[in-house]
Amino acid sequence: MTGVADAVVRAPDARGVRELVRPPRLREGDRVRLVAPCSPVPRERLEAAAGTLRGWGLEVEQAPHVHERHPRLPYLAGLDETRALDLQEAWCDPSVDAVFCVRGGDGAHRTLDLVDFDAMRRGEPKALIGFSDITALHEAFAVELGVATVHGPVVGTRYFVGDATAQKELYTTLFHPGRRVLLTSPGAHALVPGQAEGVTFGGNLSLLNDGLATPHSRLSASGGILLLEDVNEDVARLDRMLTHLLRTGWMDGVAGVALGTWTDCPPDLGVIAELMRDRLEPLGIPVLWGLEFGHCAAQLSIPLGVPALLDADRGTLELAVPGLA
């Protein structure tokens, strides 16, 4: 980036977060596939999502096992083997231009254990969209495939179906990514002031914590603009997870942090903000509070794996390049 003040924190040169290959943007007539790598989704919601995507001019396919439910563990969308197979086949199919995850929930790490990443490396880069438990997939695709992904709505849920603003944000990110390089929200402000350059990554705090030191996980947050959000977690558990990431050294060298929403995380948001300030201010990096991504209505879609400028003072995250090529 040019014209940035000398006060900007420069991303360190170390093994950590790096710029990734951007998949092509979508165009009318492209074929996309809906997959369920985590928890199951109601059929009527899935059909509604497919209808919206068809309205965008896309050819929509549903993965063969997308409607299944695990016979013994009903919180999972089918067996681990079939969830992994659907994800892998969607990625490797040259006729598929993007992969939409229909729900987060549970089971992403179980799915990843059965994916053949050697086979997936032979596939062409394409957009992968989702959030929450899909954070595990974002991390694995970055580490194993070197491909940028999109932290955006899981389309078989209320975070997409019936949410016109979230739909518009995702549509613009996928079809006209050049119009979505400056990201902000009305209440976004500095928790810790400053600016930082780095590469966007992250997502759900619980999934990042649970994936630490496991296969397909990132070794370090060094050089990254870390996105964090979560849902339905007690503030003390948020403290434990964030402290764990800090104590392991995983966050050493992180350039900046953008904090999203903390839906159903009691007590009030002021206590969570104080927790984040307490844990992150000693790092000496800018921290942005109130960027509306995560488990919320009208959520922002944020590309992961692209260079960006975090300006906590202005309440913005500005991508150096569009999220899709």
Express each pLDDT in 165-188 by its tens digit.
999 999 999 999 999 999 999 999
pLDDT digits (tens, 9 = 90+) for 50-77: 999 999 999 999 999 999 999 999 999 9
Residues in Cβ contact with 236 at an 8 Å cutoff, skipping those fewer than 6 apart? none
Decide if pLDDT at 7 tops 70.
no
Is 132 marked active-site?
yes
Q: Where are the domains of the chain?
A: 31-178, 181-319
Is 67 marked active-site?
no
| Residue 324 confidence class, pLDDT cut points 50, 70, 90 | very high
pTM above 0.85, yes or no: yes
Is 229 marked active-site?
yes
Mean pLDDT of 266-283: 95
Residues in Cβ contact with 149 at an 8 Å cutoff, skipping those fewer than 6 apart? 127, 128, 129, 137, 138, 141, 142, 303, 304, 305
Name 192's bridge partners.
287
pLDDT digits (tens, 9 = 90+) for 215-254: 999 999 999 999 999 999 999 999 999 999 999 999 999 9
| 310: its two tokens | 């975090």
Choosing from 70, 206, 295, 301, the catalytic residue is 295
pLDDT digits (tens, 9 = 90+) for 27-52: 999 999 999 999 999 999 999 999 99
| Residue 2 confidence class, pLDDT cut points 50, 70, 90 | very low
| Residue 266 confidence class, pLDDT cut points 50, 70, 90 | confident
| Residue 15 confidence class, pLDDT cut points 50, 70, 90 | low
DSSP 8-state assignment for residue 300: P
Report the pLDDT value the prediction gives residue 4, as an integer from 0 to 100: 32
Domain 181-319: CATH class, spelled out? alpha beta
Choosing from 139, 169, 229, 233, the catalytic residue is 229
Residues in Cβ contact with 169 at an 8 Å cutoff, skipping those fewer than 6 apart? 152, 180, 298, 299, 300, 301
103: left (phi over 0), alpha (psi -120 to 50) or beta: beta
Report which of 183, 204, 228 is spatially closest to residue 137, judged by C-alpha positions: 204
Q: CA torsion angle for 52, 58, 62, 63 (degrees, to 10)? A: -140
Choosing from 39, 65, 109, 132, the catalytic residue is 132
The residue to which tokens 């491909």 are assigned: 147
User: In 3-state terms, what secondary structure has residue 50?
Assistant: helix
Domain 31-178: CATH class, spelled out? alpha beta
d(CA 162, CA 318): 28
Decide if pLDDT at 16 tops 90.
no
Decide if pLDDT at 8 tops 70.
no
Half-sphere exposure of 293 (CA within 13 A, CB side): 34
Q: What are phi and psi of 313, to 5 degrees?
A: -65, -35
d(CA 100, CA 87): 10
**Percent of the residues in the chain that have a pLDDT greater than 90, as a whole number:** 94
Decide if pLDDT at 313 tops 90.
yes
